[in-house]
Structure 1
Amino acid sequence: MDPALDIRAYDGPGQLHSHEIVQLVLPMEGALELEIAGHGARLSPALSAFIAPGERHTQAGHGPNRSLVLEAPAAAFPPAVLERLGRQRFFAPAPALRSLVEFADLRSRAAGLGTGDLAALARLLTGTLGAEPERPAPRDRLAAAIRRDPAADWPVARLAREAGMSRSALYRALAAGGESPGRFVTRIRLEAALADLADPRLPLAGIALRCGFSDQAALTRAMRRETGRTPGAWRRQIGTPGQARGT
């Protein structure tokens, strides 16, 4: 089973049930009461929930609410992530995860989300969730530094310096999240580009350069690899005009 994404609204109390897959509830608006294995919390855009396979849970909506619900097999996540989130159950989404949820909210309001769009976002959310929560403080500092200046050169020596660790320690830290230094930099740059694509005033070529890609073609290749869509196609799906030629 590939990761799957859906937008759901909950009205009133639900029934106690369980799934044989991982389920994540990522609220976009409103409030939602969720009980997981006897532990309850009031979800909001600032608080998400992780439901491990087999855990009995139920929910109750309070007024208008909308949530992204991500469903995936346990194998889609590193074991350490499953263990930690399963222990927490409720967690504050990291900045990268919040950005993707906010983007999904904007896009769904503007033009809706088709099957292909939901599949692409499911892959991005799964990858981001699997990497972001496991970052130790040095990786957080490194990601923040790249976000401040994504267009800068980010050789390994500079990455190690920003993270406050040796080159070998940097490689080990990133490898623990399934990434190389180059992949890490590209992912942070791509997150910045996805946020910029929501602004119709920004030309695609300008977004590419601003976010650290050598040209629009490089951004297109990265987006196609990670989301299955080009920047122009992504932008058109949220109802904003693409400025690129030949997407």
Structure 2
Amino acid sequence: MLNAFYSIAVRSYGTQSTADTHDFSQLVLPLAGELSMDIAGREAIVDRTVVAYVEAGSRHDQVSEGLNRSLILDLQARDLDARTADRLASQPFMSVTPEAINLIDYMGALLAKERLLPHKLNLWVPLLVDALLGDEPQLPSRLAGLLATVEANLSKDWTVENMAERVRISASRLHAIFQENLGKSPRVWLTDLRLEHVCRLLSSTDLSIAELAYRFGYADQSALTRAMRKATGMTPAAYRRQARARD
């Protein structure tokens, strides 16, 4: 699922019936308030304790008497394996685990701040599905969790070996999966990710180059300068000047 393409939005519903049928599946993930939903004749209240899965082709309807907001996640047939899709369809209304609540709130916050990037959604969906089903994370979710963990801890001394150990596979297998799903090796992915964050903060903050080197896992300012020059042809200071000149 790492290279899937999803669509997500925040929506609210009112007292008017919004019956619908479509050729893709949906997860309805409440952020606030509640909905009264009917999915193919099965009814339930969907709120912060219950989420809904609408199978492709199922007629569904939702109304609400009060203020409400939900994440609506569209899923194409290719986005879920057949076994997972069948399990979700068999229980269209699911109790929300604490892990799932945290994931729902996280994505809602990113959407509110307009900071939701496609790769974050691809990381989030496998984790959410496993959390909703109460499963031990499978390999796609473990990989998604690894990518999220690395991005949240870029100052750590990551190697291909310790990344592979986290997901309980060999370094060569991890390398192959990265190439298949991300089109680059773990080492190149990590370098690109670190420089993406460095460049963003060079453009938007006054943090020193030494501080950025420390935050994003470079041995010192010189190491960051070498990496920036190799990737962009510019030093960090030159990149910052150019970025601010454009503004």
TM-score, shorter chain, exceeding 0.5: yes
Q: What pairs with 1:4-19 in structure 2 (closer than 5 Å)?
A: 4-19=7-22
How far residue 93 of structure 1 moved from its aligned partner, in angstroms, is: 3.5
For the residues of structure 1 that align with 2:53 and 2:60, how far apart are their CA atoms? 11
For the residues of structure 1 that align with 2:142 and 2:18, how far apart are their CA atoms? 43
Residue 111 of structure 2, aligned match among 108, 113, 126: 108
1:218 maps to which residue? none
- Other structure's SS at 2:125 match: helix
- Other structure's SS at 2:66 match: strand
Show CA shifts across 1:174-226 (max 9, x none).
xxx4x2xxx665544445567xx5xxxxx8526989xx869xxxxxxx9x959
Residue 155 of structure 2, aligned match among 177, 187, 205: 205
How many residue pairs match? The answer is 184
Task: Give unpaired runs (5+ residues) of structure 2.
Answer: 165-177, 184-188, 217-223, 229-247
How far residue 56 of structure 1 moved from its aligned partner, in angstroms, is: 0.4
- Other structure's SS at 2:123 match: helix
Residue 77 of structure 2, aligned match among 74, 79, 89: 74
For the residues of structure 2 that align with 1:8 and 1:38, how far apart are their CA atoms? 22
How far residue 24 of structure 1 moved from its aligned partner, in angstroms, is: 0.8
* Residues 97 and 14 of structure 1: CA distance in aligned 2, closer, same or farther (over 3 Å): same
Q: What pairs with 1:46-125 in structure 2 (closer than 5 Å)?
A: 46-109=49-112, 111-113=113-115, 117=117, 119-125=118-124
Is the 1:96–1:128 contact (alpha carbons within 8 Å) kept by the matching residues of 2? no
How far residue 6 of structure 1 moved from its aligned partner, in angstroms, is: 1.1
Q: What pairs with 1:167-246 in structure 2 (closer than 5 Å)?
A: 177=138, 179=139, 185-191=142-148, 204-205=154-155, 225=182, 230=193, 244=216
For the residues of structure 2 that align with 1:43 and 1:15, how far apart are their CA atoms? 15
Show CA shifts across 1:123-142 (max 9, x none).
23432245445565xxx4xx
CA RMSD in angstroms, aligned pairs only: 4.2
For the residues of structure 1 that align with 2:18 and 2:24, how far apart are their CA atoms? 18
Show CA shifts across 1:30-87 (max 9, x none).
2111110111111112211000011101111232221111111122111111111111
1:126 aligns with 2:129: no
For the residues of structure 2 that align with 1:95 and 1:189, how far apart are their CA atoms? 20
Query: Normalization by structure 1: what TM-score?
Result: 0.57
* Residues 72 and 185 of structure 1: CA distance in aligned 2, closer, same or farther (over 3 Å): closer
Paired-residue identity, %: 21
Q: Letter of the aligned partner of 2:30 in structure 1?
A: P
Q: Letter of the aligned partner of 1:205 in structure 2?
A: S
For the residues of structure 2 that align with 1:9 and 1:121, how far apart are their CA atoms? 23
Is the 2:8–2:73 contact (alpha carbons within 8 Å) kept by the matching residues of 1? yes
- Max radius of gyration: which structure? 2
* Residues 192 and 10 of structure 1: CA distance in aligned 2, closer, same or farther (over 3 Å): farther
Q: Letter of the aligned partner of 2:88 in structure 1?
A: L
1:33 maps to which residue? 36
Is the 1:31–1:44 contact (alpha carbons within 8 Å) kept by the matching residues of 2? yes
How far residue 88 of structure 1 moved from its aligned partner, in angstroms, is: 0.7
Task: Give unpaired runs (5+ residues) of structure 1.
Answer: 144-176, 198-202, 215-221
How far residue 104 of structure 1 moved from its aligned partner, in angstroms, is: 1.6
